[in-house]
Amino acid sequence: MVKVARVEVESIAAALGIQPGTELLTVNGRAISDFLDWEFLTADEELVVEARQPDGESVIYELERLDGEPLGLTLQPPPVRRCANRCEFCFIEGLPPGLRKNLYIRDDDYRLSFAYGNFATLSNVKDRDIDRILEYRLSPLYVSVHATNHEARKVLLNNARVPDIKYQMSRLAEGGIQFHCQMVVVPGLNDGEILEESLRDLWEMGESVLSAAVVPVGLTQFSHLYTGKGMDRETAGVVLAQVEWWGKRGLTERGETWVFASDELYMLAGRELPDPAHYGEFAQIENGVGAVTSLRMRVAEGLKRVARRDGEKIGVVTGLAMAPVMRPLLESLSAASGAHFELVVAENSLFGPTITTAGLLVGKDILAALKDRLDLGLALIPAETINEDSLFLDDLPLSTVREALPMPIFPSYDFIDVLAQEPSGVAA
């Protein structure tokens, strides 16, 4: 059963009298267990839908619709499948206490992997789920592989009952499912030979593996489960060399670099980031692969649109990790706008000093970094620090932070999004 959350006016659903709260039970005789069933079973043009209205009355809707015509209803979000693993490096286990509840949800859900690109380990995927993935052709899936070696993976996921990922991926691949993979590398557990084996196994899956990202383990001061080593510069260099070897092999033999190191791995290894051509379609940008290169591209392309702000002093808040990358970008913005840009490096008070990512700064950090800066005409903060409700991770609303600061502040993804507007047209 799935429940209706919203019905659009003047839609098929509204014309039928479907209301928010209506439970949808079957489509053409097949039971609906979640949004995937609804999505796929309603692809037909003629539908018989058994439902229960909010007052408990049973009803049958019979409808016909033209190919692709939307029904005009939104379902309530599904309860997510929870993760059965207990990875030592789990970022959620490394969250400080006291944050809003939904941040602690450890989802591991192949349905969300298909629908939204969330990475899933497939640890809780049974044979019947595999049948369903194949039937509905849920492709591509985003898979947290970490290691293809079964014993190593059990240790990494801290789960003795984890299924064999090679078996799962082969079955799915035989049915035409493709994958974007990620491997979080934990020094001593899945680097070296284990990483080599994983890269070889994924390579041998051929075109079923669309991309793979190799990401260094990220720890906070609250990562209480972790007993291993952090990723140092030397290890990062070795991992990077392995990834690059397999990437080059892909480029030579198959015409594309299929495996990528994350930006963080390059930075940890002290290496310059690759050019845009390396990343192709930037398939794993959400995973921090090519994000810096993409930012550089967007700034370079947007400079001609930047409005003049001669003499204005603009603060740009970032975390320590991005500071070296930002400096040349700010110089070019300065030349294009006539403004003086100052990098304001903020420390992460919530996660501790090991977390230097700009997007994880919290409202309190922004306040601390800017509250005494009476000299700044305006400040840009990383847009990734706030959610769709304009809340920082520490639950401070953007409006509260704005009211407390002496200058206007603007969340920005790439500077151009704010600076292309005329100074008077920048809306707070």
Strand ranges (DSSP E) for 217-321?
Answer: 259-261, 313-318
Instruction: Name the minimum Å distance from CB 107 to ligand SF4.
Output: 7
Given the structure tokens 């990202």, which residue do they identify?
213
Strand ranges (DSSP E) for 53-178?
Answer: 58-64, 73-75, 141-144
Instruction: For the beta carbon of residue 395, count every other beta carbon within 10 angstroms.
Output: 14
CA distance 44 to 169: 29
Q: By CB under 6 A, what part of segment 147-166 binds ligand SF4? A: 157
Residue from 42, 85, 198, 284 that binds ligand SF4 (CB under 6 A)?
A: 85
Residue from 86, 161, 200, 229 that binds ligand SF4 (CB under 6 A)?
A: 86
Nearest to 183 by CA among 215, 151, 218, 148: 215
Q: Which residues pair with 27 in a beta bridge?
A: 30, 49
Q: Does 90 bind ligand SF4 (CB under 6 A)?
A: yes
Say which DSSP state 386 is in: B
CA distance 271 to 292: 13
Which phi-psi region, left, alpha or beta, contains residue 116 (left: φ > 0; alpha: ψ -120 to 50)? alpha
Q: Which stretch binds ligand SF4 (CB under 6 A): 43-51, 86-94, 227-235, 236-244?
A: 86-94
Strand ranges (DSSP E) for 84-236?
Answer: 141-144, 179-185, 209-216
Residue from 18, 51, 83, 209 that binds ligand SF4 (CB under 6 A)?
A: 83
Rounded to the nearest angstrom, the gap between the alpha carbon of residue 296 and the centroid of all alpha carbons in its chain is 20
Q: Does 185 bind ligand SF4 (CB under 6 A)?
A: no
Instruction: Name the minimum Å distance from CB 104 to ligand SF4.
Output: 10
Q: Which is nearer to ligand SF4, 121 or 208 (CB)?
A: 121
Q: Does 190 bind ligand SF4 (CB under 6 A)?
A: no
Q: Which stretch binds ligand SF4 (CB under 6 A): 38-46, 73-81, 82-90, 207-215?
A: 82-90
Instruction: Name the minimum Å distance from CB 103 to ligand SF4.
Output: 12
Which two three-digit tokens encode residue 255?
């015409």
Q: Does 106 bind ligand SF4 (CB under 6 A)?
A: yes
Q: Which is nearer to ligand SF4, 108 or 201 (CB)?
A: 108
Instruction: Name the minimum Å distance from CB 165 to ligand SF4.
Output: 12
Instruction: For the beta carbon of residue 262, count every other beta carbon within 10 angstroms.
Output: 25
Residue from 2, 36, 87, 259 that binds ligand SF4 (CB under 6 A)?
A: 87
Q: By CB under 6 A, what part of segment 111-130 binds ligand SF4? A: 121
Q: Which is nearer to ligand SF4, 92 or 241 (CB)?
A: 92
Per-residue interface string for the shown chain with ligand SF4, residues 243-272, x marking contact by CB under 6 A = ------------------------------
CB-CB contact of 253 with 236 (8 Å): no
CA distance 165 to 149: 8
Determine the size of the site formed for ligand SF4 (CB under 6 A).
10
First to last CA, the chain: 43
Residue from 38, 71, 108, 381 that binds ligand SF4 (CB under 6 A)?
A: 108
- Residues in touch with ligand SF4 (CB under 6 A): 83, 85-87, 90, 92, 106, 108, 121, 157
